[in-house]
Amino acid sequence: MDLTLMVQFWTVAVLLALTPGADWAYAIAAGLRARSVMPSIAGMLLGYACVVTVVALGAGALVSRYPAALTVLTLAGGAYLIFLGVTTLAQPVSGIAASERPIGGTALGQLARGAGVSGINPKGLLLLLALLPQFTSRTGWPSSEQMLALGSLHLLNCAVIYTAVALLARRILRSRPRATAMVTRFAGVAMTLIGAGLLVERLIAGH
């Protein structure tokens, strides 16, 4: 497997996990309202694990065989990244505060709710479908194994970042709103630039 591609994907995946959205909102809600954040975080990881498996074993391999489909998905993913970045920059800091929806009372309820949040998250599904095949090499491991390995990196990023978000939510959101604003602005700028880069690279490659 190409180490350079792996590092490039890891960088993009870190920035994806740093983007405030439904995952962040649920992690923050768990940090503020749940006795333990682990069931909620484990649920989100379970949801993403299902998405990665579907992409790696079926959809992603299909996309790899049809370059035109990859082009369409990459353009859609890039455009969506720009949309996420712009909307993140435009929204007020309060926009990433914890959701008002109650956290499941039991650990199993929190696990199920977390899996639902990430498993049906269009951002995760679209971007993983567009990005995983793009960072695979035609030599070495089979493409499905490469995508599973890259997906595992994404899960590791999510585990670390979402756990940190949940554990720090009680302190940061209540006493240091400027820190939350800085993270939000950074993620917004990064997603906008990455999305623009994907669009330009794909358009150049198409000529």
- Is residue 33 exposed (0-12), middle (13-18) or buried (19+ Cβ within 10 Å)? middle
Q: What is the DSSP letter of 103?
A: P
* CA dist., res. 63 & res. 112, Å (int): 30
Supply the pLDDT for residue 46. 94
* pLDDT score, position 100: 46
3-state secondary structure of 119: helix
Pair 31, 166: CB distance under 8 Å: yes
- Position 99 scores a pLDDT of 47
Residue 157 has what pLDDT? 92
* Closest listed residue to residue 42, CA positions, set 124, 120, 116: 116
Residue 105 confidence (pLDDT):
66
pLDDT in tens, the chain (207 residues): 678 888 888 888 888 888 777 788 788 878 877 778 899 899 999 999 988 888 888 765 666 566 676 677 667 767 876 876 787 678 665 555 554 445 656 888 888 888 887 876 666 776 677 777 778 777 778 878 888 888 899 999 999 999 998 888 877 765 666 766 776 677 678 768 877 887 887 777 665
Instruction: Find the distance separating the first CA and the last CA of the chain, reported in whole Å.
Output: 28
pTM for the structure as a whole: 0.69
140-194 pLDDT, tens per residue? Answer: 788 788 888 888 999 999 999 999 988 888 777 656 667 667 766 776 787 688 7
Q: Mean pLDDT score of the chain, rounded to an integer? A: 77
